[in-house]
Structures are given as structure tokens and as C-alpha cells.
Amino acid sequence: MPMYNHISVAVPALDEMVAMPKLIDCLRKQSFDRFALYVCVNNPDDWWNDSGKVAVARANMALMDYLNAIDDMDVAVIDCCSKGKGWVGKRRGVGWARKMLFDRIVAERGSHELVVSMDADTVFGANYLQSVIDMMNADTSLSALAVPYYHQLEGGDDECRAILRYEIYMRYYLLQLIRIGSPYAFTALGSAMVFSAKAYGSVGGITPLQGGEDFYLMQKFVKTGRVSIYNSRCVYPSARVSDRVPFGTGPAVCKSLEEQERSYPFYPTAVFDRVGQTFAAFDGLYTADNDTPMTDFLQQQLKTTNLWQPLRANYKRKELFVRACAERVDGLRILQYLKQQYTGYYSAERSSTPHLIDFCRAEGIEIDDDFTFHTAPIATINRLRDDLFDREMLLRKNKG
């Protein structure tokens, strides 16, 4: 008997009256119809007294009316927007909205519910919900899925270049992590996460950050259970410009290509190799301290020269010790190390794109020697995006 037979779709919404009907239309077309939609309509309470923001608060009330009038599906609306119910103080933003949604779903639906995290501006095909419940029922040891994604191209030339450059950066980063065998080889998007309510409870829920809450939740699932990065269907998030969160797709599209170069460089393959070498050294560290490529960095970050002995003392079996090492050198530490190793490389005259070109050549992906994001036609950049997507999907499937 399948473990999961019902899905709760969780959607934070702020000023989404334009996007929401498209999401509702996608849900109405689903081949799997045993689902409930939970929407947290939210804004800071002080927006009601802010002449520059009150229009958004009013639009949220119209969105509430629209959602409450839907009578052909199970819809639960969480009111975090009307006067007296909006966010107060530091308790605000998409992280809190997701927490409100996930916590309520678990409380109402129980530990055997499957939670599909979504964004209001994301669309998907008619078999999406069926595909994720099939994946989770096929392997009930899974805690979560990091679902494949493919951004919609929107806007003019500058906007398309910006989203393509950002998405290619994300695909490059994931492909490098898969190549070195990192346990943190996943891409976390709030619009592309699926997890069991039981697993959510076991990791203590989501940390309600202003941004990056999706990454930290998926990292918790990796540390405590099993996460698959493959699904037969993907989601199509919007690539719209947004400043609602400090980092992620919306802010990335706001950046110029030069700003993206500083924020999202294509880190050299050799630096990823050093991360892989460090993970490969964990087995030997069980019996003796040995230097790894990341030793100096970790000592600085963790403010200790005694990195491994405390783990040996706490974990008497080698496999547990190795897992503890991997939990210590997690996805955040890997990114911090890459940034540290790359510091000083960037300049206005020197691009990281040659690292992308070298990687593509090594992977058999066609790319010109003089490729740049500034000068290549949009069609050429999009074709590179597609080639990386195809390679990524193959590796996602093989990795599981």
C-alpha cells in the first residue's frame, strides 16, 4: 500500500493577484486530484499605514477574496495580511510564510502527508503532482525531493541574459558538486521542494530566514535522511525582477552581468577538486589526523586546530565518523571555501567565464572559445542552458 495518498501544496503569496490564477489553472489540470492548496497571504502590518505600500496590502485582500471564492478544490487561506494580522517586527518575509504553511499542514494533515512547496509565480505540467507522489512512494526511505527546474524567459534582452547567466551558474555549480560526489549536490528552490511531513518534523521544521530558508531546510534533510534530486517532471519558476528577498532568482535578475560576475562566479574546477579530495580523506581521518586541502580553512572557520578528534571520540564506528565529517563540512562550508579560494581573482578585466568554457569542453558540451554573456546571442546562451539542463537531468537520474 502506498505510504502517501494525499498532497498539500504550500504557497506563500505577496501581491500575487496576477500570477495566482495561472497557478490555480495548473492545479485544476492535475491528473492527481487528491490535494489541498494552502496559501499564506502575507505582508508587514505597518504597510497599512505606509502610503507607498498600502496598495500592496489592499491587493493582498483582493487575493484573499479570490482564493476564498474558489469552490472546486480544497483551499486553506492563512491570513497574514489584513490589519492586525500582518507581520510585526523581525517576524516577516517568505521564510516566515513558509513556516506558517508547513507547520499548519503538519498539524492538520499528520505525518503521512506529502508537502509540495511552491511559489505563486511557478507553473508546471498536468502530471507534476502525480510524478512527485510516485517518486516518494517508489522509495519511502526518501525524506525529500529537490525537484528539477527550468526558468521561464521573460522581459527584454538584459533580463533574459541575466536569468540565463544565473541559471547557468546554478547548473554549473550543481554539476561540479555531482562530479566530485558531494552529498550536498542539490539545488534548493522554494518552488521546487517536496518532502514528507514526518521528515519535516524530525528536522525541527524550517528556520524562517529572510532568504535561503529553502537551502537550509534541504540541507537538514540531507544531514538526517535521504534526498533525491531526480523527478521525471520539472517546474517552471518565473524569472521576474524582485527585491523581496536578499538573494536568489529575483535579486539575481536585478543585477548587471558585471554584478553577477562578482556575486556568482564560475569557481575553477580545481577548487571543486580540492573539496572532493577533502571528502575522500574522511575515511583516513578516522585513525589519524592528516592535512586536507580544506584543513586551514576549517580551522579558521571553526576556530579550532582540533578538527577531528572530538568526532572520533563521539563516533566509534568509521561510517558514523565519516558521516559526521560530512555534516561538519556541509553545503554552506563548501560555498564559503569556494569563495575564500576565489577571493582576489575577480577584476573588471578578468571574467570567470573561461572556467565555464573549460568545464563544458571537458564534459563534451559545445561552446565557443570566445563565448561571453555580453555578446553571445540570446539563442546561443539559451542553447547552452539547454545543453547543461540535459546533462544535469541525466546525472540527476543516475544519482537518484
Q: What is the mean pLDDT of residues 237-266?
A: 75
Cα(229)–Cα(155) distance, rounded to whole angstroms? Answer: 29
DSSP helix/strand/coil, 228: strand
Residues 316-342 have a mean pLDDT of: 95
Mean pLDDT of 49-60: 97
In terms of Cβ atoms closer than 10 Å to its own Cβ (0-12, 13-18, 19+), residue 374 is exposed
The answer, yes or no, to whether residue 241 has pLDDT greater than 80, is no
- Asked if residue 384 has pLDDT above 70, the reply is yes
Q: Is the pLDDT of residue 245 over 70?
A: no
Q: Indicate whether 253 pLDDT > 80.
A: no
Lowest mean pLDDT among 207-211, 275-279, 295-299: 207-211
- Contact predicate 85/46, CB 8 Å: no
Spatial separation of the C-alpha atoms in residues 185 and 182, rounded to whole Å: 6
Contact 120, 12 (CB under 8 A): yes
Q: Hey, which bits of the chain come out as E strands?
A: 7-13, 35-42, 74-80, 114-117, 123-124, 144-146, 193-196, 227-228, 235-236
pLDDT > 90 fraction of the chain, expressed in percent and rounded: 87
pTM over 0.85: yes
The Cα 311–Cα 286 span in angstroms is: 9
Distance CA 310, CA 330 (A): 17
Residue 53, CA distances (Å) to 15, 46, 93, 342 in order: 11, 9, 15, 40
What's the pLDDT score for residue 224? 95
Q: With bands split at pLDDT 50, 70 and 90, how would you rate the model's confidence at 344?
A: low
Average pLDDT value for residue range 367-394:
97
Residue 146 binned pLDDT confidence (cut-offs 50, 70, 90): very high
The residue type at 317: R
* pLDDT for res 1: 57
Beta-bridge mates of residue 8: 36, 115
Whole-number pLDDT of residue 167: 97
Q: How confident is the model at residue 255 (pLDDT cuts 50, 70, 90)?
A: confident
Domain boundaries, the chain: 7-149+187-233, 269-342
The region that residue 366 occupies, defined by phi over 0 for left and psi between -120 and 50 for alpha, beta otherwise, is beta
Q: What is the pLDDT of residues 304-317, one digit of tens each?
A: 999 999 999 999 99
Do residues 19 and 238 make contact, with C-beta atoms less than 8 angstroms apart? yes
How far is Cα 35 from Cα 350, in angstroms, rounded to an integer? 50
Dihedral pair phi/psi, residue 114, rounded to 5°: -100, 125
Residues 6+ apart with CB under 8 A from 347: none
Q: Give residue-wise pLDDT tens across range 156-184.
A: 999 999 999 999 999 999 999 999 999 99
- Residue 374, pLDDT > 50, answer yes
Q: Which residues contact 46 (CB under 8 A, 6 or more apart)?
A: 86, 88
**Is 348's pLDDT higher than 50?**
no
The predicted model gives 46-61 an average pLDDT of 97
Q: Give per-residue pLDDT as tens, 111-141.
A: 999 999 999 999 999 999 999 999 999 999 9
In this structure, which amino acid lies at residue 136?
A: M
> Is pLDDT of 240 > 70?
no
Mean pLDDT score of the chain: 93
Q: How confident is the model at residue 239 (pLDDT cuts 50, 70, 90)?
A: confident
> 7-149+187-233: which CATH architecture?
Alpha-Beta Complex (3.90)
Who contacts 236 (Cβ-Cβ below 8 Å, separation ≥6)? 122, 123, 124, 149, 150, 151, 152
